Structure 1
Amino acid sequence: MVSNLLRPYRDFAPSYFDDIFIHSRAAGGMTDVEMHLRQVFEVMRENKLYTNLKTCIFYAPEIPVLGGYVSTEGVRADPEKIEAICA
């Protein structure tokens, strides 16, 4: 459901099941990020979807996703998971 609702915004707000990853390049600055947040929050409000603020990460240079970390530099594995495998 979330993926279908956010399809028009997938360039800056891809989703995976009920996780939404809102991102923006620095070129537009904070105004782009804030505009993207407002657009996604409006869709959520219109469809009575809620978020758990305890699990939200705002304005972060890197976020944990599916056992790894994603940033502007790319994707890297979680060091704790690598250590567990090597142990």
Structure 2
Amino acid sequence: MSLDVFLSALLLPMLMVIVLTKVTYSRIMAVVLTVILIMTSAFLGYTNSLAIIIVDAFSITVGLIIVNYFKKKNEEEKEQ
């Protein structure tokens, strides 16, 4: 596994969850779309190891945590 593949697997799914949440206004839909894209790339053979899939899953989780943090922060600001 090369460094560029690892960094892409670490950053791109997280960014996709964040951007798709802003576009769809739904955290669940953003995660579902991101998982579908990763599953499609794995099915087509672009993902060649289990380690990359695990890093992708970790990155999606981090992206969801970031989106939840932003949502909570935004709700707290609206209450004030």
TM-score of the aligned structures, taking structure 2 as reference length: 0.41
Which of 1 and 2 has greater Rg? 1
TM-score of the aligned structures, taking structure 1 as reference length: 0.38
Q: RCO higher in 1 or 2 (8 Å CA, sep ≥ 6)?
A: 2
In terms of fraction of residues, the more helix-rich structure is 2
In terms of fraction of residues, the more strand-rich structure is 1
